[in-house]
């Protein structure tokens, strides 16, 4: 962010282009997570796999593809092979084209995956994604958000705003490690879903009891994007978010990744 004028409470801060790109990543996946929670992104029962054999001379591009796949929530099955329940094909190929390594990337879909002796979808998820650890982190964030919602009416407005900003940062940190699997593959009463509901309640309480928080365009953008996403079809949502997410990820790629 950059300060455009004023000091103290009169200071004004605006998001830079780089900051907006990072914010778009968080906003986009947050809105998508709420769509998953609401059953608006059902699983088609296919697993999507991405494999790549990028030569050592393009190590920067190889590392970039690997890092992006992990950030998308894909899990490594073995060296150079990643799996996700959501279809990342177009996303991966667009970034691979940008890196000029699309010829070294292969994607395919299957209804059945066997890793060792694990064949069922439930056991596969348990093996590939550390959901128990993620659930514990979501529970901690959920308690933080519930406390804000409960105490907001009796707390100074500026303190409410500060607490909510801190909670948003904590929520984003957990969500960045969440593969955002379809609800069909998650445990009942999934902690991520409950934490996101607690987020909406805390955000509403902070907006009601803190003028500072209520007047922040940045803070209000979270629920605005979530509300809009929940009212859209899947096609409309992705048509709107696809370019923003792709541009944000391309902006992150290190210069070395695009060199031959």
Q: What is the pLDDT of residue 260?
A: 59
Q: What is the pLDDT of residues 3-58, one digit of tens each?
A: 777 777 677 777 777 777 778 888 999 999 999 999 999 999 999 999 999 888 88
What's the distance, CA 132 to chain centroid? 18
Q: What pLDDT, in 10s, does the model give residues 57-114?
A: 888 888 888 988 988 899 999 889 999 999 988 888 988 888 889 999 999 999 988 8
C-beta contacts of 115-123 below 8 A and 24+ residues apart: 115/77, 121/185, 122/185
Residue 26: CA count within 13 A, CB half-sphere: 17
Residue among 41, 20, 71 at smallest CA distance from 237: 41
| CATH code of the domain occupying 47-110 | 3.30.70
Q: Is the pLDDT of residue 244 over 70?
A: yes
What is the value of pTM for the model shown? 0.87
Q: What does the pLDDT read at residue 1?
A: 74
Domain with CATH 3.30.70 in the chain: 47-110
pLDDT digits (tens, 9 = 90+) for 195-238: 999 999 999 999 999 999 999 988 999 999 999 999 999 999 99
Give CA–CA dist 242/236, Å, rounded.
10
Give, as one character, the DSSP assignment of residue 187: P
Tens of pLDDT, residue by residue over 121-161, are 888 898 899 899 999 999 999 999 999 999 999 999 999 99
* Strand runs labelled E in the chain: 2-5, 12-14, 47-52, 75-78, 81-84, 105-110
pLDDT for position 90: 87
Report how far residue 115's alpha carbon sits from residue 117's, in angstroms, rounded to the nearest whole number: 6
């Amino acid at each position: 962010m950059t300060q455009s004028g004023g000091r103290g409470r009169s200071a004004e801060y605006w998001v830079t282009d780089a900051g907006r790109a990072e914010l778009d990543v968080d906003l986009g996946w947050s809105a998508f997570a709420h769509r998953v929670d609401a059953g608006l992104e059902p699983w088609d029962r296919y697993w999507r796999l991405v494999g790549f054999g990028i030569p050592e001379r393009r190590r920067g591009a190889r590392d970039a593809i690997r890092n992006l796949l992990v950030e998308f929530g894909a899990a490594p099955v073995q060296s150079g092979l990643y799996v996700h329940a959501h279809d990342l094909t177009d996303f991966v190929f667009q970034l691979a084209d940008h890196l000029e390594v699309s010829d070294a990337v292969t994607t395919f879909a299957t209804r059945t995956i066997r890793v060792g002796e694990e064949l069922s979808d439930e056991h596969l998820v348990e093996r590939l994604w550390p959901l128990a650890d993620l659930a514990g982190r979501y529970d901690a964030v959920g308690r933080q958000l519930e406390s804000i919602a409960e105490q907001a009416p009796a707390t100074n407005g500026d303190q409410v705003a500060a607490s909510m900003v801190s909670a948003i940062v904590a929520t984003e940190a957990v969500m960045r490690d969440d593969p955002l699997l379809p609800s069909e593959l998650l445990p009942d009463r999934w902690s991520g879903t409950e934490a996101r509901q607690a987020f909406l309640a805390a955000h509403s309480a902070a907006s009601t009891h803190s003028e500072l928080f209520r007047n922040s365009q940045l803070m209000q953008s979270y629920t605005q994007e979530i509300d809009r996403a929940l009212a859209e079809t899947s096609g409309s949502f992705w048509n709107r978010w696809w370019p923003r997410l792709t541009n944000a990820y391309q902006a992150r790629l290190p210069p070395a990744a695009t060199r031959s």
